[in-house]
Amino acid sequence: MNNRIKNLFANKPKGLLSVYFTAGFPSLNDTETVILELEKNGVDLIEVGMPFSDPLADGPTIQQSSTVALRNGMTIPKLFEQLQGIRQKTDIPLVLMGYLNPVMQYGVERFCQKAGEIGIDGIILPDLPLREYVDEYKAIFEKYNLSKVFLITPQTPEERIREIDSHTNGFIYMVSSASTTGKTLGLAEQSQAYFQRVASMKLQNPGVIGFGIHDNETFASACNHASGAIIGSAFVKALQQEGSLQENISTFIKSIKH
């Protein structure tokens, strides 16, 4: 298992805050600033979104930020260039999140090698199926010491959750309800039952809850059922407020953790 992710969950088994942002948004060169400000404000883990033209699992907020980031000129080579040297500045666990096609065009092995060299800790590719990962890519991810993080949902059968758990080595991304990103309906009653069901399975990987987490209340509620929670769309929205990036980040994170 990757050491930075392992240490994080060992040292902070509860109440962990993970934040997603789209690289290249609001401006092309904000990547490093956003990462360092998030760390300064007490965020525990960061998901750096690699924008894609057709993000199927995302709602309007992340679609929009992806469109802007691509228009700004964000690409995988550009992102790697921006992240070169990030490990001299921070030790916060960093996970890259995106869709398979851009990674495939860059070359999966080349991508993993480069990510490993930079000091990336994990990768999330929602449209890379478990079966293809295990058959074709798992050895590559492990060679470069990258955790492959998989999603599970309330509809994922127990048997498949166990299979996913056996093939991953970082954390499990528990999608809170059947939805794309950015819905803010809160965590439904059925979700609580699903969280409890997963907790009672005693998986080897810790679980982190994402999708629909957008304020202090939903964050606290998610933290009751898992090691922590992930905020994406709500943070991307906060970055669009007037004011400096620093102020927006600090205000938003305080509102979640107060």
Partner 1 sequence: MSYHVNEKGFYGQFGGAYVPEMLYPNVEELRQNYLRIIQEPDFQEELQLLLKDYVGRPTPLYFAPRLSEKYNTKVYLKREDLNHTGAHKINNTIGQVLLAKRLGKKRIIAETGAGQHGVATATVCALMGLECIVYMGEVDIERQAPNVARMKMLGAQVVPATSGSKTLKDATNEAIRDWINNPEDTYYIIGSVVGPHPYPDMVARFQAVISEEMRAQLLEKEGTENPKYVIACVGGGSNAAGAFYHYLDEPNVELIAVEAAGKGIDSGESAATSILGKDGIIHGSRTLLMQTEDGQVTEPYSISAGLDYPGVGPLHAHLFVSGRAKFMNATDEEALQAVLELTRLEGIIPALESAHALAVLNRLGAKPEEIVVINLSGRGDKDLSTYLKHFHFDEQ
For residues 66 and 97, the answer to whether their CB atoms sit within 8 Å is no
Distances (CA, A) of 205 to 95, 142, 178, 234: 16, 16, 22, 26
Of 180 and 192, the one with the shorter C-beta distance to partner 1 is 180
The yes-or-no answer on residue 109 being catalytic is: no
Residue 25 Cβ vs partner 1, minimum distance, rounded to whole Å: 15
Residue 36 Cβ vs partner 1, minimum distance, rounded to whole Å: 26
The yes-or-no answer on residue 135 being catalytic is: no
Among 7, 29, 101, 240, binds partner 1 (CB under 8 A): 101
**Interaction between residue 152 and partner 1 (CB under 8 A):** yes
> Residue 88: is it exposed, middle or buried by C-beta count within 10 angstroms (0-12/13-18/19+)?
exposed
Which of 37, 44, 58, 121 is labelled catalytic?
58
Residues between 43 and 72 with contacts to partner 1, criterion CB under 8 A = 52-54, 56-57, 59, 63, 67, 70
Please count the residues of the chain. Answer: 258
> Residue 243: is it exposed, middle or buried by C-beta count within 10 angstroms (0-12/13-18/19+)?
exposed
* Mask for 165-184, x = binds partner 1 (CB under 8 A): ----------x--xxx--x-
Residues between 109 and 148 with contacts to partner 1, criterion CB under 8 A = 126-129, 132
Of 145 and 177, the one with the shorter C-beta distance to partner 1 is 177
* Joined tokens for residue 137: 């890519």
**Interaction between residue 156 and partner 1 (CB under 8 A):** yes
Number of residues that bind partner 1 (CB under 8 A): 38
Q: 3-class DSSP state for residue 199?
A: helix
**Interaction between residue 106 and partner 1 (CB under 8 A):** yes
Which of 30, 37, 47, 121 is labelled catalytic?
47
**Interaction between residue 100 and partner 1 (CB under 8 A):** yes
Question: What is the secondary structure of 128-168 as a DSSP string?
Answer: S-HHHIIIIIHHHHHHTT-EE--EE-TTS-HHHHHHHHHH-
What would the 3-class secondary structure string for 67-106 be?
A: HHHHHHCCCHHHHHHHHCCHHHCCCCCEEEECCHHHHHHH
* Mask for 70-99, x = binds partner 1 (CB under 8 A): x----xxx---------------------x
Stretch (H or E) spanning 175: strand 172-175
* Interface with partner 1 (CB under 8 A): 52-54, 56-57, 59, 63, 67, 70, 75-77, 99-106, 126-129, 132, 150-153, 155-157, 160, 175, 178-180, 183
Q: Which of the residues are catalytic?
A: 47, 58
